[in-house]
Amino acid sequence: MKISVSVTMQELELLGGIDAGFKALKEVGFEAIEFAFVTSDVNWEEMRAGKPSHLYDDDVFWPQAKAIKEAAEKYGIAIDQCHAPMPSFISGCPEGNVLLKKYVEKSIEFCGYCGVKNVIVHPCFDGSYRYPKLTRADELALNIEFYSSLIPLLQKNNVVCCLENMFTQDWKSKKIFLACCSDMRDSVYYIDELNKIAGEERFGFCLDIGHLLLLGLDSKNAMETLGSRLKALHIHDNNGVDDLHIASYLGLTNWDRFLGGLRMVGYQGNLNFETNGSHKQVPAELMPSMLRLIADTGHYFRKRLTTPRT
């Protein structure tokens, strides 16, 4: 149960670059990372028109992957999971969706190259909070087809694909709506059906604690439904209204319920903090201090989880 944090290339650069970034993460107490690919650097208008991003060109992508792998090995930090680019799907954008799938596939290949166990891939949904273009049946068929098509590549690279619980929001009114996999019963169906198609346990679930809070859902109840399908975590907090991705105890999450749920299901994965809302938005001089607080929280959580109850 390693203490892990999600980082992007931008965050490593804020820490001084790949080598310096891994050194800093090690010094503050992290034992692992989730490397997160982002599409925020992508020109969305070009992508919608089917023009690929240079960031995923082989002469850019693989030298970066090599530097990340070497820095992780140098400082003894595991790359325990990878976050594929998001979203996985844009409604009404066939050219863009072809590119998004290629980027997801590239992240799976990154996992194989770096020996990463889990890749988190967001489910496909259109995100329209009032008038969704996809019916529930459409969404189900779309996701089964999308994830099934990844099975050969997942098997080739020996990677488990983790679905994640989603939400959508009217950014003007702040009203929050359920989205794909926010109902854990749906998530269980997806995972079991996809594993049946794969003929092995090739799919699992990454439970995003902040997303649960936004929807007023309880983490312990979610874990009880998922059971052994729970393979990875995105641990972060918020104010119940905004997806802030801040450190634990700075928002409204009930962390006792969270820890109780992990105990109940016998969770064996790593404790990954997706808290870039905290460690990326403080001044550069304070970033190591914020990361240390997050790492210390992880060590505290692990101590509570591994200490026998009296």
pLDDT of residue 129: 60
For the chain, which domains are there? 3-306 (3.20.20.150)
Model pTM score: 0.95
278 Cβ contact list (under 8 Å, min separation 6): 245, 246, 247, 250, 290, 294
How much is the pLDDT for 133? 73
Q: What is the pLDDT along the chain (310 residues), one digit of tens a residue?
A: 999 999 999 999 999 999 999 999 999 999 999 999 976 667 767 777 778 888 899 999 999 999 999 999 999 999 999 999 988 888 888 888 999 999 999 999 999 999 999 999 999 988 766 556 778 889 999 999 999 999 999 999 999 999 999 998 887 787 888 899 999 999 999 999 999 999 999 999 999 999 999 999 999 999 999 999 999 999 999 999 999 999 999 999 999 999 999 999 999 999 999 999 998 888 988 999 999 999 999 999 999 999 887 5
Nearest to 50 by CA among 106, 3, 95, 105: 95
pLDDT of res. 130: 58
Place of tokens 């080598």: 19
pLDDT of residue 189: 97
The C-alpha torsion from 7 through 13 and 16 to 21, rounded to 10°, is: 20
- Nearest Cα neighbor of 274 from 304, 260, 253 is 253
Q: At 208, which helix (H) or strand (E)?
A: strand 203-208
**Strands of the sheet with 118-120, listed across from one edge:** 230-234, 203-208, 160-164, 118-120, 78-83, 32-36, 3-7, 271-273
DSSP H or E run through 83: strand 78-83
In terms of Cβ atoms closer than 10 Å to its own Cβ (0-12, 13-18, 19+), residue 180 is: buried
pLDDT of 52 reads: 83
Please report where in the chains the tokens 């003929």 appear, as a residue: 199
Alpha helices (H) in the chain, listed in sequence order: 9-14, 18-28, 44-48, 58-75, 94-114, 136-148, 151-156, 184-198, 209-214, 219-226, 255-265, 276-279, 287-306
